[in-house]
A and B are shown apart, each in its own frame.
Chain A
């Protein structure tokens, strides 16, 4: 079967760096997505990794290790507007997304 784990909640300080981890188990893999979801809003796409390594996009970076079933999202220079839930989702062998429950990130001044 498939399983995705990510922390329920994290707290960080404005201006700091935070790393949100995601571990998964799957029999088929076509990549891993990260989405951001502000409270009461729709998820919006942040990043996609299919090969091992780090993908950098401005203040946000995403890392993947397929052999370890592990990904993380790294947020630098945190801003108050980064307070949101961050959703990890793996794309299975049928190109369907399997979603984690999300990590609620709280940014404090």
Chain B
């Protein structure tokens, strides 16, 4: 693995179903982030993690949960999907979030909730 990987690449999901988007990085970065990107809007932060074992809420956390059991993995869970969660989801990481470190992005997951 080189960089950040996300799975699945795309998914069509029925409303009400539970879904976990996976994100793994091999850069040993401390900080990780989940964003959603919708047409006409900037990237919006859902949740973040400064280091393994800690998580925080971003701008649009409702309906989503995250965990950070180790440095490499940062899964995002939709407990009960709704159509407004249809979006492209990007995972990112940076060396830390205690400074102006560059964020590096995974390839994204395109999620459609019907």
Provide the residues of chain A in CB contact with B41, threshold 8 Å.
101
Does B87 have its Cβ within 8 Å of any Cβ on chain A? no
In addition to A97-B43, A97-B103, 20 A-B residue pairs with Cβ atoms within 8 Å of each other are A4-B42, A30-B100, A33-B102, A42-B106, A42-B107, A42-B108, A43-B43, A45-B103, A45-B104, A87-B42, A87-B43, A89-B42, A95-B98, A95-B100, A96-B45, A97-B45, A99-B42, A99-B44, A100-B42, A101-B41
Q: Interface size (A, Cβ < 8 Å)? A: 22
C-alpha gap A33/B92 in the complex (Å): 15
Number of A-B residue pairs with CB-CB distance less than 8 Å in the complex they form: 46
| Count class of interface residues, chain B | 20 to 34
Sample 10 A-B pairs with CB under 8 A, ordered by A number: A30-B100, A33-B102, A41-B108, A42-B105, A42-B107, A89-B42, A91-B100, A95-B97, A97-B45, A100-B42
Does A31 have its Cβ within 8 Å of any Cβ on chain B? yes
Given contacts A87-B42, A96-B48, contact A45 B100 (CB under 8 A): no
C-alpha gap A107/B93 in the complex (Å): 31
Does B74 have its Cβ within 8 Å of any Cβ on chain A? no
Does B90 have its Cβ within 8 Å of any Cβ on chain A? yes
CB contact list, A64-94 vs B, under 8 A: 87, 89, 91
